[in-house]
Structure 1
Amino acid sequence: MKTATDRGISRPRHLSLTVLASLLPFAALANDPVALEQQVITATQTAHSELSAPASVSVVTREELEKRPVYNLADAVKYLPGVHLNPSSAYGRQEIKIRGLDSDYTLLLVNGRRINSRDALTSNYANDFDLSAIPMAAVERIEVIRGPMTSLYGADAMGGVINVILRQPTNQTEAGVAYSYEHPTEGDSGDSHKTSAYLSGALVEDKLLGNLILDTTDQAAWQSDQLRLAGTDAAEKRQNVSAMGTLSWILDERQSVDLDMSYREDDRKARWNNAGAPQPLTTNVQEMDRWTLGLTHNGRWEGFNTRLRYYYEDVELMDDSQLMTNMRGAKGDVNQTNHTVDGQVSASLGNQLVTLGSEFRRTELTHNQNLGADTEVDQKAIYLQDEFSLGDLDVTLGGRWDHHETFGSEFSPRAYGVYNLTDNWVLKGGAGKAFKAPSISQADASYGVLACRGLCTVYGNPNLKPETSTSYEFGTQYQDERLEAGVMFFHNDIDDLIVTETTRLVFNPVLGRPVPLRSELSYYNLSKARIKGYELQGRYHLNEGLSVRANYTYSDSEDRETGDELDYTPKHVGNIGFDWRALPQLDLNLDYQYTGSQMVYVPALANSERSDAFHTVGIGARFHATNELTFNAGMNNLTNEKRDEVAQSVDHILMGRTLFVGFSYDI
């Protein structure tokens, strides 16, 4: 990727890569600094190295993705600092939490464009369809920003941003196929098959380039004796088929037009323990078809760059689940359509790099069992960012004005500084404000979502206020050719946090099953919440063939009204990994993850209980048989770790030991 300077834009001086202060005393062992190949663009929408980026940034490369069985974004980012995967359904779905905030506060982007189907399928039993919307075979790298980025991206970016950068068409012909198989050694069934194919090349040399990615996953449902009701699924059955393609038309040395399209068929089926009672045993079937179309014009002019694009996303959902059919006694038929038009100009003005952009988004939602009528919501925004240097201090100032047609206008400012102590060592920190408007399901009184395992209904509340937050972070980072080290302290105050009312389930002797004290619930604004903590991370290359990487996140969360700890927010999460080139053709890796104790909400008690800490170990191997052919194998949850009785009581089951094997062939 070209830097801003390569594109003809002068910019503040940039440095090297990432991160961890607890290892900084070892810096004396390192050699001379090296130039970085890795660039990130999500933090400012302009090119930076990880070290110079005005944010807490982590990058997952394609090489790292190929080491492990990765089926969706959650699998791809689970070992990063500040990231916690939370079970968000009773049958194996997950959500990504960044710095203690739920997945609703993590903005998912593909090449800088948001993907969103949460209004089509939203419930206490999760929606990770967006996490699975991008075939991993199409991914070049993943950039993760920890901390709010509302000043650039608007609502939904209060917790952070995950930006998936796709593989771009190449002038040279490239092709490849890959297959992997995963088998649980504990429980019943659960086998998974994943196949992908990739083709890229020039249709007209140096003028018209294209690529095509195909991806399929067939994962059987998995049962475990840890479940309270025999016959239910700890992990649902999934069948996915994806096709994604890009055409890049190079008009001249300054202009290009990109057209990309994708289609994904994502079918899910699970048997689950409805209401936690011995009966009924319910089968949930959800089938989602997603079409996307993007058209982008990129201009690289003398002293400034431009981008103008349109993005269309259409989501069709057939929902034959207890969550839906209990509402009106019929299958759900839901359609969500998203239209986005945005434009951006980055220009060099003296020693400043100024970025000006605007965005218009329209969400259209039809629902045969919810909403009084078809719903349409418009949002528009304008943002401005200025990057400049004051001696050794690189400063980024930005602000975004958003207007939501229902909830009015919000302004989100941000200021960040990176102070260059040396060419390898920086101090960085900043502050900003962020907001998140209620979703359609949260704000529309006619939109009902089943809860209490099917016994209650949560209706929207039109009196909700947007959530707002004020965040601060400060830390230091160091990088050279052997050591990467950093520590970052963060503090996030949240006002008007949107939460769901709860009710207690009590046993009814006449009906012979638990029933709720209240059957109709709603959302409300929690006055104040606070999450603060710190992240440590680093990597040390012991020699050319062996390196160790580690990170640790401490999070202290609190409901400021009650003083209680927030649910599903462990105080301690840590990761340790080893990468070893044992032979010229053989790479080995080991990953250990510790997840500390956390509060888990138990519906039958209408209360939160503490669930104990747990840990997992994974090992993997890659054998390069030839330049084109690679085999890989390994094991997840090597120690067959199980979660405690509190987690098992709500069917949050950790998948047992699994074996995986696979191969890839690239030409």
Structure 2
Amino acid sequence: MKRLKNTTADLRGRLPLWLAVSGAVLPVLAGPAGAQDLPAPAAEVPATVQLDTVVVTATGQAQALPDAPATMTVIRGEDIAKRPYASITDVLKTVPGVVLNSAGSKTGLPSISMRGMGSGYVLMLVDGKPVGNSTEATYNGFGGGQAESYLPPPSAIDRIEVIRGPMSSLYGTAASGGVINVITKPVDSVWSGEMTLGATTHEDNDSGSSHEGRFYLSGPLIADRLGLSLFGSLHEREGDRNYAGGSDGYQVYDNTRKSLGARLAWSIDDDQKLTFEHVVTDNSSSRTSEEDGGEGGIDIDRKNSSVTHDLSWGAGYETTTFVNHEDVDFINGDNASGYKQLNINSKTARTFGRHDLVLGFDYRDEETRHAPDRIPEDVDPVMTRSQWAVFAEDSFHVTDDLTVTMGLRYDDNERYGSHVTPRLYGVWHVSERFTLKGGVSGGYKVPQLKQADSNIYEPAGRGRGWDQGNTALEPEESTNFEIGAVWEGETGLQLGLTAYHTRFTNKIDRDRICEGPEGSTGCRGREYISQYVNRDEAELNGIEATADYAFGDFELGANYTYSDSKITKGPGEGEGFNDLPRHVLNLSLDWYATDALMVWGNAQYRSATRDEATETGHVGEHAILDLGVDYDFNDRVSGTLAVYNVADKSFDNGYSDGRRLYLGLTSSF
């Protein structure tokens, strides 16, 4: 657990070109960056010291974090290993601008919101390859948090790059709120592995206990030519006794999440490499009503296969091409639905003097399969849509201290036609310790397949209502402004401040178009119908502030997020369009008591959220404190003991846990 002192080095202007994301077949086409050729960090660096970190997500090629044309947070694999994280969402919950929300998720899995925008605005990537939109296959709250559950287990992660703010000019419609790129560990040159076992027990018997296991194994099959990585996880949680709204009884939910993946990396020669990967995920939940003994449950299966080709060619060109296929099946009793996505993507990066250029191409084909009872008999239950795009970015180093990034993306959707999304961003290193960043970018988001068809009715509100699609729904557009500053002191203090403003046109939302008294059936046999609509205009404003300080054997971190949304024109004018907390404050303190012992604490304050449909509190104002101890028994075995929600803060929404104890052991070789 020994901490290394700050060895921050300015890599600006001195990154070798081969660190740019490499390899593929098409020399002038492009795709999101992977991480297979980036070297793993050589030594542990505190989470608060990030200025020497190399990132790839902001432009599609490698660069030092201070030069990245975006507001970014990087979480190193070494820092992830310090905490008993069961999933990626646990890792991300203290990132500025990120809010986890479990309310409304029938499986209890938290979904990620970023800068006041829900999970549908946040693009999830694994090694630069997109995770599909699982909510297309699910309904009635069962899709909440599913995409996040498809991400690799923490033991397989090299680092996580989080971009807050739109990246539609580089990554397309799914990235209109931000990007989370989970970069896995490269295949090791010697056999190594890690296994973690953990268990959580709750003080309150109404909350189910859980246990988990995960592993990572990597090494060469043929030295310097062929390598294999295997990784997997299992998380089982006993049933929660959550109040079933409107009923006198309770329901018990059980959840099991399983994931298994394999990656085969073949270095064909010194200039090209092929990587094959296959991951299967199963997420099942069941419930039993104590009132009538009735049973129910869901099963969500996902298969993902990909092949990536990295190629270095010509005078410094680096090309990466991948083909990624995803298939999600959703079974809820007698109802079955599903979602497929095929993504072909290629990108080439090259430096010309003071210009770092990226050119790319992207093709995506989607298919949604619906349960027959969700649509009229004369409507095809299979919906398809395809789109393609070309994009380009130029990072122009005007001087050694000033870089201006210009990006442009052209999308062509078979239903919505063409659209151009621009980006302009500047990074100015005013001095060795002070950096200014800021820019303006476009956001573009096309409706989901099920949102854009009036024949589709999703069950909603525990079966009390319907969410109806809308054939007249138009794509959502936004213009986004941000400005930020970072200052790093000589004594280990680092401060950051970012302000952002987003203007929406045709903001996608929902309106009640039919509503009756409780228990009525006048709206297509149910109590109400909500339909997807476009709001004329809306805006989102926010501030993110960070402070990190390393002193002696201590590391102190704090960040604050303010977010406020408002419909500014049309129906609902003056109302907010989300039910996220306006204020979030995170505090953390790590004490490296000895080389083997670390004591840590995290505290989070969240202001109350509001359900805009009922104008009532959704989750009240609260603060939660977590405390833990990590101990290295030797070079191969470490343990964690943690108490979460120390003050046993309770909630009325039935989705949050009280005080609980975690015990975990990790062994590595």
On whether the aligned pair clears a TM of 0.5, the verdict is yes
Counterpart CA distance in 1 for 2:392 and 2:517 is 54
Counterpart CA distance in 1 for 2:506 and 2:289 is 33
Residues 235, 258 of structure 2: 8 Å contact kept:
yes
Residue 457 of structure 1 aligns to a residue in which SS?
Answer: strand
Residues 168, 246 of structure 1: 8 Å contact kept:
no
Equivalent position to 2:542, from 533, 540, 548: 533
Equivalent position to 2:342, from 339, 348, 360: 339
Residues 243, 249 of structure 2: 8 Å contact kept:
no
Paired residues for 1:145-184 under 5 Å: 145-184=163-202
Deviating more after overlay: 72-81 vs 120-129:
120-129
Residues 275, 309 of structure 2: 8 Å contact kept:
yes
Which residue is 1:109 aligned to?
Answer: 125
Which residue is 2:276 aligned to?
Answer: 259
Counterpart CA distance in 2 for 1:332 and 1:226 is 21
Paired residues for 1:135-214 under 5 Å: 135-136=152-153, 137-214=155-232
Residues 596, 632 of structure 2: 8 Å contact kept:
yes
Which residue is 2:39 aligned to?
Answer: none
Q: State the Cα deviation string for residues 453-475 of structure 1 (Å, max 9, x = none).
A: 31222221110010111100001
Residue 17 of structure 2 aligns to a residue in which SS?
Answer: coil
Shift of residue 565, structure 1, vs aligned partner: 2.9
Equivalent position amino acid for 1:252 in 2: D
Residue 89 of structure 2 aligns to a residue in which SS?
Answer: helix
Which residue is 2:101 aligned to?
Answer: 86
Q: State the Cα deviation string for residues 372-418 of structure 1 (Å, max 9, x = none).
A: 22222101000000011112211100011111111111111000000
Equivalent position to 1:400, from 406, 409, 417: 409
Residues 227, 653 of structure 1: 8 Å contact kept:
no
Equivalent position amino acid for 2:300 in 1: M
1:550 is the counterpart of 2:563: no
Counterpart CA distance in 2 for 1:598 and 1:288 is 29
Paired residues for 1:491-502 under 5 Å: 491-502=501-512
Residues 591, 600 of structure 2: 8 Å contact kept:
yes
Counterpart CA distance in 1 for 2:173 and 2:276 is 26
Counterpart CA distance in 2 for 1:280 and 1:534 is 49
Residues 507, 515 of structure 1: 8 Å contact kept:
no
Equivalent position to 1:292, from 263, 279, 304: 304
Residue 260 of structure 2 aligns to a residue in which SS?
Answer: strand
Equivalent position amino acid for 1:244 in 2: G
Change (3 A) 1:427 1:164: same
Counterpart CA distance in 2 for 1:378 and 1:111 is 23
Which residue is 1:30 aligned to?
Answer: none
Counterpart CA distance in 1 for 2:583 and 2:234 is 35
Residue 101 of structure 1 aligns to a residue in which SS?
Answer: coil
Residues 384, 400 of structure 1: 8 Å contact kept:
yes
Equivalent position amino acid for 1:574 in 2: L
Residues 105, 141 of structure 2: 8 Å contact kept:
no
Equivalent position amino acid for 1:208 in 2: L
Deviating more after overlay: 193-202 vs 621-630:
193-202
Which residue is 1:622 aligned to?
Answer: 630
What TM-score results when the alignment is normalised by the length of structure 2? 0.87
Which residue is 1:58 aligned to?
Answer: 73
Equivalent position amino acid for 2:200 in 1: E
Which residue is 2:318 aligned to?
Answer: 305
Residues 232, 281 of structure 1: 8 Å contact kept:
no
Which residue is 2:396 aligned to?
Answer: 388
Shift of residue 446, structure 1, vs aligned partner: 2.3
Residues 523, 529 of structure 2: 8 Å contact kept:
no
Which residue is 1:598 aligned to?
Answer: 609
Deviating more after overlay: 105-114 vs 181-190:
181-190
Which residue is 2:664 aligned to?
Answer: 662
Which residue is 1:74 aligned to?
Answer: 89
Which residue is 2:621 aligned to?
Answer: 613
Residues 547, 559 of structure 2: 8 Å contact kept:
yes
Counterpart CA distance in 2 for 1:540 and 1:445 is 53
Equivalent position to 1:573, from 570, 575, 584: 584
Shift of residue 610, structure 1, vs aligned partner: 6.9
Equivalent position to 1:563, from 566, 574, 577: 574
Residues 88, 126 of structure 1: 8 Å contact kept:
no
Equivalent position amino acid for 1:404 in 2: N
Equivalent position amino acid for 1:425 in 2: F
Which residue is 2:387 aligned to?
Answer: 379
Change (3 A) 1:226 1:577: farther
Counterpart CA distance in 1 for 2:312 and 2:51 is 23
Residues 506, 514 of structure 1: 8 Å contact kept:
no
Q: State the Cα deviation string for residues 44-88 of structure 1 (Å, max 9, x = none).
A: 111122222110101222233233332333222010100111234
Residues 452, 516 of structure 1: 8 Å contact kept:
no
Equivalent position amino acid for 1:105 in 2: Y
Shift of residue 478, structure 1, vs aligned partner: 2.2
Which residue is 1:633 aligned to?
Answer: 641
Q: How many pairs are equivalent?
A: 617
Residue 451 of structure 2 aligns to a residue in which SS?
Answer: helix
Residues 20, 318 of structure 2: 8 Å contact kept:
no
Which residue is 2:365 aligned to?
Answer: 362
Shift of residue 221, structure 1, vs aligned partner: 1.7
Which residue is 2:149 aligned to?
Answer: 132
What TM-score results when the alignment is normalised by the length of structure 1? 0.87
Shift of residue 601, structure 1, vs aligned partner: 4.3
Which residue is 1:457 aligned to?
Answer: 466
**CA RMSD between the two structures:** 2.7
Counterpart CA distance in 2 for 1:514 and 1:367 is 21
Equivalent position amino acid for 1:41 in 2: V
Counterpart CA distance in 2 for 1:358 and 1:166 is 24
Shift of residue 126, structure 1, vs aligned partner: 4.2
Equivalent position to 1:413, from 388, 411, 422: 422
Shift of residue 620, structure 1, vs aligned partner: 1.3
Shift of residue 8, structure 1, vs aligned partner: 4.8
Shift of residue 497, structure 1, vs aligned partner: 1.2
Which residue is 2:265 aligned to?
Answer: 248
Residues 77, 157 of structure 2: 8 Å contact kept:
yes
Which residue is 2:27 aligned to?
Answer: none
Residue 190 of structure 1 aligns to a residue in which SS?
Answer: coil
Change (3 A) 1:90 1:357: closer
Change (3 A) 1:293 1:10: closer
Change (3 A) 1:224 1:608: closer
Change (3 A) 1:551 1:233: farther
Equivalent position to 2:330, from 313, 317, 322: 317
Equivalent position amino acid for 2:94 in 1: Y
Counterpart CA distance in 1 for 2:141 and 2:279 is 28
Q: State the Cα deviation string for residues 567-614 of structure 1 (Å, max 9, x = none).
A: 312221010000111122101110000001221246xxx444475311
Counterpart CA distance in 1 for 2:226 and 2:105 is 47
Shift of residue 526, structure 1, vs aligned partner: 1.2
Change (3 A) 1:527 1:187: farther
Equivalent position amino acid for 2:656 in 1: L
Residues 458, 520 of structure 1: 8 Å contact kept:
yes
Paired residues for 1:505-524 under 5 Å: 506-507=517-518, 519-524=528-533
Counterpart CA distance in 1 for 2:395 and 2:297 is 49
Counterpart CA distance in 1 for 2:195 and 2:248 is 39
Q: Identify unmatched segments of 5+ residues in structure 1.
A: 12-32, 274-278, 321-330
